[in-house]
Structure 1
Amino acid sequence: MRMLLLLPTLFAAGALGAQAAPAKTVEGLKAFYAQSCVKCHGADGSAQGPGGKKLGGRDFTDAAKMAKDQDADLVKTIRKGIFFGMVMPSFKDQLSEEEAGLLVREVLRKAEKGKAIVPEGGTAR
């Protein structure tokens, strides 16, 4: 009997501990970028850290390089991850294909050197 009374509590606790999926909005994806991508791609997407230090990720502010990439290829990389002497984790469990596409079109392709990618009213990490 006690176990039956505890089950709803356990389910509720599990639901509270579950990580919420990012919002399917540009602002939600900017928050995702600030949390998950800044370490390698920089606050502005230029793959440069403080003092101009080169980080391990690709430079999204390089228009010539970005023009060569198809959105579908970038989405695939975000969802599957890569390993070419460096590691990029897969974000397939955090972003749907639709969300990854929106991230590419509305956040990464609009990255500007020197302008942090942060949600409205947010700050770069």
Structure 2
Amino acid sequence: MRTLLPLLCVTGLMAQAPARSVDDLRAFFQQNCVKCHGVDGSALGPDGKKLRGFDFTDATKAADLNDAKMVRTIQKGIFFGWIMPSFKGELSEADAELMVKEVLRKAQKGKPIAR
């Protein structure tokens, strides 16, 4: 048992997915979030208004949400995935934090997030 514990720890660390880059997260946004949040994060996408996607480019609204709540929403989704799916299986908590700080918080109306 004594020799098995270090092996399990090393194996567990190696099994974790590598952290995503900001460019990877922008591409993830393009692939998974544009339908509701729009190409630029303004919720003016194809279904943004109909589905009431959050407008990340509205500084007043965005200021009301703290980063931790946004990360939790990305990880858990909204209303059991009916309103917004959970991305916990696709983005680690660190990835979700980076998404909030470097992608969503920097969204600008009229400027596509994925470049």
Q: Which amino acid aligns with 2:94?
A: E
Q: Partners of 1:26 and 1:65 in 2: how far apart?
A: 23
Question: How far apart, in 2, do the equivalents of 1:98 and 1:110 lie?
Answer: 17
Residue segments in structure 2 that go unaligned for 5+ positions in a row: 1-16
* Residue of 102, 110, 115 corresponding to 2:106: 110
Structure 1 ranges of 4+ moved more than 3 A: none
User: Does the alignment pair 1:54 with 2:54?
Assistant: no
Is 2:93 the counterpart of 1:97?
Answer: yes
Q: Is the 8 A contact 1:22 1:32 kept in 2?
A: no
CA-to-aligned-CA distance 1:24-74 (integer Å, 9 cap, x gap): 110000000000000110000000026xx7242100000011111110000
Cα gap change, 1:27 to 1:55, in 2 (>3 Å): farther
Distance in 2 of aligned mates of 1:79 and 1:54? 23
- SS of alignment partner, residue 87 of structure 1: coil
Tell me the distance in 2 between the aligned counterparts of 1:65 and 1:26: 23
State TM-score, norm by structure 2: 0.77
Q: Is the 8 A contact 1:22 1:95 kept in 2?
A: no
Aligned length: 97
C-alpha deviation, 1:82, in angstroms? 0.3
1:69 aligned partner, one-letter code: L
1:31-70 equivalence runs, <5 A: 31-49=27-45, 54-56=49-51, 57-70=53-66
Q: 2:71 aligns to what?
A: 75
Identity fraction in percent:
62
Question: Match for 1:38: what amino acid?
Answer: V
Deviation at 1:22, TM superposition (A): 8.2
CA RMSD of aligned residues (A): 2.1
8 A contact 1:22–1:28 mirrored in 2: no
Normalised TM-score (structure 1): 0.71
Residue segments in structure 1 that go unaligned for 5+ positions in a row: 1-20, 120-125
Q: Which has the larger radius of gyration?
A: 1
